Structure 1
Amino acid sequence: MERRIVLLNCEAGAFGSDASQFTRQLVDGFAANGCRAEIHLLDGRQVCAAAAYHATTTRRLVIGGGDGTIAAAAQAIGGRQCELAILPLGTRNHFARDLGLPTSLDEAIRLAVRGRARPVDLGRVNDAVFVNNVSIGSYALMVRQRDSWQHRTGLPKWLATIPASGQVLARLRFHRLRIATERPGDPVVTPLLFVGNNRYSLERAALGSRSALSDGQLAVYAVARRSRIALLWFGLRTLFGRADLARDFVLVEECSQLTVGSHASHVEAALDGEIRRLRYPLRFESMAGALQVVAP
């Protein structure tokens, strides 16, 4: 029986409280597909090192977790021959959703064992890899506040987002940035800079999703400077697919590389929903086809 290395982030949103029962379910699921699962339970900080270690000895590595977990694994195995199979166990699983992965655990296991890998892009900022996006400004602050609310109150992530968003609006600040793509750019003042790994839809029917993950492009959106009320209205309109590219953004562009500068030395950014402290200038690039991922 073929062996599969399975790295699980036991802090992932869908992991559950009974680790032994969940592990048994996985072992049985892989066995039903002709594989012996060698399961390693990790916390989020251990995923990157574990993926790097096992990628040298296996041709396909199974990772269970959310977007942050997948990004940590991609940091380790991007550009290598090792294939990545995903069990979507996070809260939102944006990357898995855009890949078209099944949400059923049994179906995800079947795909991880029997599916074929295809190349998809990764994004990189300085020395950090991301699979979805990087945000600077109000979203990164919201993530920081949300995590604080979760730690203090035990609220689930989605509920902690509500008071965190209110605090962000109350403390809203604007960032003066120099953004250069393939050509020099003018200074931009924005409450939120968003850099996506390929293009994100702003249309109502497909809001926040990507139709392609292999175009080799970064999608850059800088929100226009507005009052608190105007930004709240912008957020509501965006949720309903009513964002106006000409009015709501000071920059909308696609490129394979860009550099973001500032008078500040560092910035807190949200990489795939995880807060990282990055040093300016921020050097972004699309790593076209860098990850071999098992997908339909």
Structure 2
Amino acid sequence: MSDPIAARPAQDRAGIRVICNDHSGRNSREAEAIDLAMKVLGPQAELCHVKGSDITETARAAVRDGYATVVAAGGDGTIMAVASALNGTDCTLGMLPLGTFNFFARGYDIPEDPEGAARVIAAGHAQTIDLGAVNGRLFLNNASIGVYPAILKERETVYRRWGRRRIAAHWSVLKTFWRFRRPLKVEIEVEGQRRRFRTPLVFAARSAFQLEHFGLQGADCIRDGGFSVFVTPDVGRLGLLSDALRLAVKQMRLGEDFELICADRLVIHTKRKRQLVACDGEKFLMDGPLEFTMVRDAFRIFTPPPGDEAAA
């Protein structure tokens, strides 16, 4: 359903609002990179620095104010927050990747340096995309329950001490796996059929790029317009550590280390009335059951034109 703030016709929109998450980024040089990106976008672009909790409302305000393009400058969590505000509107999303992994932007061949990403926006080529949602909340790359939300909590602690580095993110995975002791009892419903699992992790993926990056199967499920859902067996702490190492060297085994379910809609039933859910690196407490659906033609994003190498 379109949000009322989207009522303004597309032809009446103009200008670019760049929303920069002050909590994203890995080093001080990126401030200079943002300045270069703003020069590429030109005088029609306005830069707005916000805190994480204010991103979505700032994006909604940009839609209400008549901007044609809203740019998310940050990681996948920042892009997700802006995307949720643009769902169902006639605004176009631009991306200046500043996160740790930037899986969503990289999946669409967006350069990881802000200046190169700005050239993609300035080129003006856009496409309409589908997104996943859990209980109505959009996500870009993945949504999960179980050990991954615990990893995110540990990652926040590691980042505060060591900074936002990929090696720090990997270390938080190992620490959490070693400490994790609470597998979930769930029922996963697909097309009216329910299956029971005892598992430390249910991971619903929507990024073919992310799966291929880790050498995982399931990219075809995503390209066919659905989810790749990974369910890991209850193998204990040592088993989780072994899985982490196999994931790092791209040797996860279908049927042994995980089970794969392909679907464009599923429902996860848990014993808990409320469940902590991780969406693109952010944590949310949601009421069960958890319903995963596809949102078709959610909005438009700027991407490099086919065959274009200028932004690379």
TM-score calculated relative to the size of structure 1: 0.87
Closer, same or farther: CA 76–188 of 1 in aligned 2, 3 Å: same
C-alpha distance 209-295 of structure 1, shift in aligned 2 (>3 A): farther
1:290 aligns with 2:307: no
Asked if 1:29 corresponds to 2:40, the answer is yes
The sequence identity of aligned pairs, in percent, is 28
Distance 2:97 2:217 in 1: 18
Report the CA distance between 1:90 and its aligned residue: 1.3
**Which of 136, 158, 183 is matched with 1:174 structurally?**
183
Aligned to 1:60: 69
Question: Is residue 99 of structure 2 the alignment partner of residue 87 of structure 1?
Answer: no
Name segments (4+ residues, structure 1) moved above 4 Å: 198-214
The CA distance in 2 between the partners of 1:134 and 1:202, in whole Å, is: 13
Between 68-77 and 266-275, report the one with greater CA deviation: 266-275
State whether residues 198 and 215 of structure 1, in contact with CA within 8 Å, keep that contact through their aligned partners in structure 2.
Answer: no
CA separation of 1:235/1:69 partners in 2, compared to 1, >3 Å: closer, same or farther? same
Q: What is aligned with 1:76?
A: 85
- Distance change in 2, residues 1:212/1:44 (3 Å): farther
> Cα–Cα, structure 1 residues 191 and 206, in superposed 2: closer, same or farther, change >3 Å?
closer
Corresponding residue SS for 1:28: helix
Q: How does 1:105-184 map to 2 (within 5 A)?
A: 105-151=114-160, 153-161=161-169, 162=171, 165-184=174-193
CA distance in structure 2 between the aligned counterparts of 1:38 and 1:173, rounded to whole angstroms? 47
Change (3 A) 1:247 1:237: same
| Counterparts of 1:116 and 1:6, CA distance in 2 | 18
Distance 1:18 1:199 in 2: 27
- 8 Å CA contact 1:202–1:243 kept in 2: the answer is no
Query: Which residue in 1 is equivalent to 2:273?
Result: 265
13, 19, 36: which one aligns with 2:25 = 13
| Number of corresponding residues | 289
Q: CA deviation at 1:192?
A: 0.7
- Asked if 1:41 is matched to 2:49, the reply is yes
Per the alignment, residue 233 of structure 1 pairs with 242
Ranges in structure 2 where 5+ consecutive residues have no aligned partner: 1-13, 305-312
**1:234–1:212 distance in 2 versus 1, CA, 3 Å:** closer
What displacement does 1:105 show?
2.3
Tell me how large the CA RMSD over aligned residues is: 2.6
TM-aligned CA deviation for residue 131 of structure 1: 0.5
Q: Spell out, residue by residue over 1:47-90, the C-alpha distance to the aligned partner (whole angstroms, 9 max, x if none).
A: 11111121241222222111000101111111221111111111
Compared with structure 1, are the counterparts of its residues 39 and 267 closer, same or farther at alpha carbon in structure 2 (3 Å cutoff)? same
> Match of 2:193, as an amino acid?
P
The CA deviation at 1:14 is 4.2
Could you tell me how far 1:112 is from its partner in structure 2?
Answer: 0.9
Gaps of 5+ in 1: none
1:4 pairs, out of 8, 13, 16, with: 16
Alignment correspondent of 2:109: 100
Find the counterpart in structure 1 of residue 4 from structure 2.
none
Q: Tell me whether 221-230 or 256-265 shows the greater mean CA deviation.
A: 221-230
- Secondary structure class of the residue paired with 2:256: helix
Structure 1 residue 22 displacement after superposition: 5.5
Shifted more, 213-222 versus 258-267: the winner is: 213-222
CA drift of 1:154 comes to: 4.9
1-structure distance, mates of 2:197, 2:221: 28
Q: Residues 149, 270 of structure 1: CA spacing in aligned structure 2 closer, same or farther, 3 A cutoff?
A: same
Which TM-score applies when normalising by structure 2? Answer: 0.83
CA distance in 2, matches of 1:74, 1:208: 27
